Amino acid sequence: MKVDRGLLRIIAPLVMAWLFIQLVPPSLALTQEPVTPTEAMRVANEDYEAGNYAEAASIYEAIIASGLHHSNVYYNLGNAYFKQEDLGRAILNYRRAQRLDPRDADTAANLSIARAQTVDKLETVPESGLSNLVQLAEEWLTLSEALLLALILWLLIGALAVIALLKLAWRRWCGIGMGVLAVFLLVGLVSMVNRYYTEQNHPPAVIVAQQVDATSGPGTSEQYLVEFTLHSGAEVSLIESRSGWQRITLPGDLQGWVPAEAVERVSEKRG
């Protein structure tokens, strides 16, 4: 479990005390003092350490519902669900933590452990060449970091171009440098476009139901053919929503419909 890492300095301005009084569990709401995010985090951590995983998860959820989206909170929430053997919500929150802090070793390790315990072993299509570099960029950098890096690379390429024009003797080396930087810039741009396209058209999601049948249409197994069955923790992509049903896709273009409450999107829609 991770501690708050100075969350008071980061998050105190984000959340009003009255909102927490409405959202946190009764054990906190009954106290007469206003509940700050740091205090809520402390109580949740204490519940976790005491083995009260459901209570800890409830408080972490309340912190997130209040508007705080921090990788440590999602990580701790994932741990609380993992301790309750809820692989679906554990993987979901580890992935949410990873979106905010993709280079965190603890999150990667716990996500790997949780994935190893899932029932459905879904094989992914191996990537090669530029696709591998794009995937590495997506796993290593957040979108905002990728945008900043692309800007820096663009400025460096421009600077080298100016130097090449002013110093003819350096033209060859500047050209080599510009070529190398251009490759990294291309990888970054492809990565950003790919992330945006995926998020808009095939957002990643996780099955949170213990078991769910995917049907050939937006309805029950009595109405449509059962295409396949998935279990908690299976990672899928969403491609369509209709009347309380979500159409999902798996590697290999296997598709089916599941109840909307059986699956949760990794990237939360924030109001």
Tell me the per-residue pLDDT of 222-258, one tens digit each, with 9 for 90 and over. 999 999 999 999 999 999 999 899 999 998 788 999 9
Dist. CA 163–CA 174, nearest whole Å: 7
Helix (H/G/I), strand (E/B), else coil: 117:
coil
Phi, psi dihedrals of residue 224, rounded to the nearest 5°? -135, 165
Strand spans (E) along the chain: 204-207, 211-215, 226-231, 235-242, 245-250, 254-259, 263-265
pLDDT score of 167: 84
Dist. CA 266–CA 163, nearest whole Å: 45
Radius of gyration of the chain (CA): 23
Dist. CA 138–CA 68, nearest whole Å: 23
Across the range 200-228, mean pLDDT stands at 93
Q: Is 73 within 8 Å of 63 (Cβ atoms)?
A: yes
pTM: 0.76
Dist. CA 202–CA 204, nearest whole Å: 6
pLDDT per position as a tens digit, 47-95: 999 999 999 999 999 999 988 888 999 999 999 999 999 999 999 999 9
Q: Is 195 within 8 Å of 150 (Cβ atoms)?
A: no
Across the range 23-32, mean pLDDT stands at 48
Look at residues 81, 44, 88, 48 and name the one whose alpha carbon lies nearest to residue 66: 44
Across the range 110-126, mean pLDDT stands at 84
pLDDT score of 20: 47
- Which CATH number applies to 7-116? 1.25.40.10
Across the range 179-191, mean pLDDT stands at 84
The pLDDT confidence band at residue 116, using thresholds 50, 70 and 90, is: very high
Helix (H/G/I), strand (E/B), else coil: 182:
helix
pLDDT score of 10: 45
Q: What percent of the chain has pLDDT over 90?
A: 47
Given a cut of 70, whether residue 163 has pLDDT beyond it is yes
Look at residues 182, 251, 258, 249 and name the one whose alpha carbon lies nearest to residue 213: 258
Q: How many residues does the chain have?
A: 271
Q: Is 26 within 8 Å of 70 (Cβ atoms)?
A: no
The pLDDT confidence band at residue 31, using thresholds 50, 70 and 90, is: very low
Across the range 196-200, mean pLDDT stands at 75
pLDDT score of 66: 87
CATH topology of domain 204-265: SH3 type barrels. (2.30.30)
Dist. CA 268–CA 128, nearest whole Å: 30
Dist. CA 124–CA 214, nearest whole Å: 19
The DSSP annotation for 121-149 comes to -PPPPPP-THHHHHHHHHHHS-HHHHHHH
Given a cut of 70, whether residue 34 has pLDDT beyond it is no
Give the other-Cβ count within 10 Å of 270's Cβ.
Answer: 6
